[in-house]
Structure 1
């Protein structure tokens, strides 16, 4: 399966529906029809014909609609009934990545994939009725507010999300720049829900960031796989190679995915010609590999992943792990091994269906869905990297126990103010550490944590997290490259 330039029949979507992520898709209607015929084949076409709706089926649906319209206690809305019927069919598939978008939702989706956008900057999926954060985009309002992968959103601005579709929840989360989204989150290992206030903003559409680290080791960070990401990656890679780069770190941590053809273009130069980069499998179990046309590189590569690395990021990691032999470093990735395609033209009225059509497999034929890519070298970040934002519901005081105090202790310890314990009990050492932090930051030395102290503390922790010298996973990736270079 080739995905090069204008030979692409359709750009297939690998990312999940996002709350405020720039999700990209390019669909040419004529090639799409050709692609559908090619993908389905005669056997699939026959199956579709044999399973089409009978007159009895249509009459049953029509009768249900007429009964609701004429007999139901309350006045009904035509569009709501029709959309509900479509949602019901798709929900019966029990696939969180197959969704229906009405005209308003489809328009928002199209705007998100064609231009810059405003929102919180986090990828959201629906899992067993829960709205789960896949990944916050680096540098986004969501990341700055301390939102983490696998956080579950239960309410937005006081409105519970129970019973909503994914797109309905997305509509509540997104909003204009400068407005606030108060998110109630449930986090694994934290007893009480956390309330996080995120100020919506313009989300940066730049996807590639590169720099040269000491010892001529290059680093390229990919934040998502958008339409121009492969071009930007090639540009930055050429610059680093021109400066005499001896090894490369590719960072796809908290990268929720993107376009299949884009990740193929990025990986292609690193894989020896003829080797598969990825395999795609249809509903009949027929697999089609995408062979590389590249020649490989003469320097070692390591790839950084974490639990927020999903979809196209996992294709990249799997290809480097199995087809290149690179070391994958960090945490087990998210685990999304399916491919979605949109069907807007087929709907004909401005609505849209995003449907799972394929599964993708690694070069060796492994399906990582719900399992993720396993790193060759597992490295956890320091504990304070995963500290939850403080709820700020009340002033934290000595001789109390709570999840807030536990997170307070993790933050203080990470900043070098020892509390001697991180079990959530506000002991004398915690008081001393709080006073030391307050003195350092020009705050009243009360030994208690009010909103001002909490805000200063969270800001200091975020600065600490962003400092590369504290990035244990990056350090491990660089050390691995240094070993390879020294051989």
Structure 2
């Protein structure tokens, strides 16, 4: 059996499956929580001290009648099922059943699933490019990943997939559905989906491809205002985020006036990556903590001194596709009053999964803890509520007839700057970046809020300077 270490490690499980945030923990860690009676007796003999043995509560003992029932069912299937069934297959099915009945995120990892877990840490994998879960027997799209075939084809967060090609999804397990969505790059898969607001199913053709996910993207969206999009949290996202901020400040030539962090449709990923991103923006205080039944599932993460943005105003955009690690970041910045959260309510994935190796090729992924924001909020099944609710919308600017001004009147008094050539407008000089905000109502709202905060800050600073000069005189 592969020897495992007694310290926690993070590992992101992607594989176009459930949005999740989890840690890789040694299988022995669970066993070490409770010492067996024999171990207690041995320590007592070695120390020469009297040992009081607390016998287990009879109600906590294994239900022998139910175990007999299990072996009876196993035997009946072996003897009477219409086709011969392999013992190993039956046992693995029993394990899968035990885990899948706990919650949607606990599962058994067979060799192929275990390989995909390791493969996904590089941010490159094959498929459609969507994060999915199960809802009422159908596959629900948690979020399409940026720049992937699914996103380009028009798949949206919240879509319910009811057919994969000609195969109905109802009755399938998530694992089976995911296998059907995977395939040879270049092959076509037709998704039949139900979408809120649509009366009839929609068919979308998606061409499978090798998915290469860029975790962090950045650009200037206006003079002095930066935009950072985090598509998912990979192991190095914290470092990539700080590099993106440095790039934006270098491009501007000075500190930013404001920053928009876009976490919309971010399905999560590595817990520590979200912690590192929050740590970069917080000068102190708790970021997140987890609570579970065993000691190893109780963790606390706090910020180290140093806010790389030095208090620059921040707006964080979230929506129903923001899950898990992205909710950790949004919740930390909200509770620590470091950012304004804008958009719509997030997904509500507030649990942590532990990957426990069973041998070289098998493992179980089991929910072992809930995570909490600094103020003690569990967002499981409730999500992060934005400070300012802004729903997606399409804007159409209305053309209006130009107004006559004082300068149009015959014989008007000459103005101080009249006759000078007007400087190129900010909108004209930033046509490309402004167009991004004009197409995205939520981003435009975030940008307008940052501009308002900057105007207010400058006014307050001017008033403070004026009062200081008056005092000095």
Shorter-chain TM range is 0.7 to 0.9
1:19: which partner in 2? 16
Counterpart check, 1:333 vs 2:346: yes
Give how far 1:475 is off: 0.9
1:101 is aligned to: 109
1:331–1:378 CA contact under 8 A, matched in 2: yes
Which of the pair has more CA radius of gyration? Answer: 2
**1:323 maps to which residue?**
336
Distance 1:115 1:137, change over 3 A: closer
The whole-number CA distance in structure 2 between the counterparts of 1:24 and 1:366 is 17
Q: Normalised by the size of structure 2, how large is the TM-score?
A: 0.75
CA contact (8 A) 1:246 1:300 kept: yes
Give the number of aligned pairs: 396
CA contact (8 A) 2:298 2:369 kept: no
SS in 2 for 1:367: coil
User: Does the CA contact (< 8 Å) of 1:20 and 1:121 recur in 2?
Assistant: no
Q: 2: CA distance between counterparts of 1:301 and 1:335?
A: 22
Match runs of 1:56-455 below 5 Å = 58-93=67-102, 95-114=103-122, 116-242=124-250, 243-244=253-254, 245-273=256-284, 275-283=285-293, 288-296=299-307, 297-343=310-356, 345-346=357-358, 348=359, 350-382=361-393
Give 1:60 shift.
3.9
The normalised TM-score by structure 1 is 0.73
Instruction: Render the CA deviation track for 1:189-239: whole Å, top value 9, x for unaligned.
Output: 222221111111121232111112322111111000011111111111222
The whole-number CA distance in structure 2 between the counterparts of 1:128 and 1:227 is 33
Contact 2:15/2:116 (<8 A) preserved: no
SS at match of 2:317: strand
Once superposed, what is the RMSD of the aligned Cα atoms? 3.4
* TM-aligned CA distance change 1:158 to 1:114, over 3 Å: same
Distance in 1, Cα, partners of 2:140 & 2:196: 12
Offset of residue 472 of structure 1 = 0.8
Corresponding residue number in structure 2 for 1:423: none
Q: Deviations over 1:245-286 (max 9, x none)?
A: 22211111111000111100111122232x111121113799
> C-alpha separation between the residues in 2 aligned to 1:223 and 1:47?
48
Instruction: Mark the CA change 1:377 to 1:361 in structure 2 (over 3 Å): closer, same or farther.
Output: same
Q: 1:484 to 1:28 in 2, by over 3 A?
A: same
TM-superposed deviation, 1:383: 5.1
Q: Is the 8 A contact 2:20 2:353 kept in 1?
A: no
Residue in 2 aligned with 1:470? Answer: 439
Instruction: Specify every segment of 5 or more residues in structure 1 that has no aligned partner in the other structure, as ranges.
Output: 1-5, 385-413, 417-465
Of residues 162-171 and 250-259 in structure 1, the stretch that sits farther from structure 2 once superposed is: 162-171
Distance 2:237 2:263 in 1: 13
* Match of residue 479 from structure 1: 448
Unaligned 5+ runs, structure 2: 37-54, 399-434, 458-473
Residues in 2 aligned to 1:206 and 1:12: alpha-carbon distance in whole angstroms: 17
Contact 1:23 1:112 in 2 (8 A): no
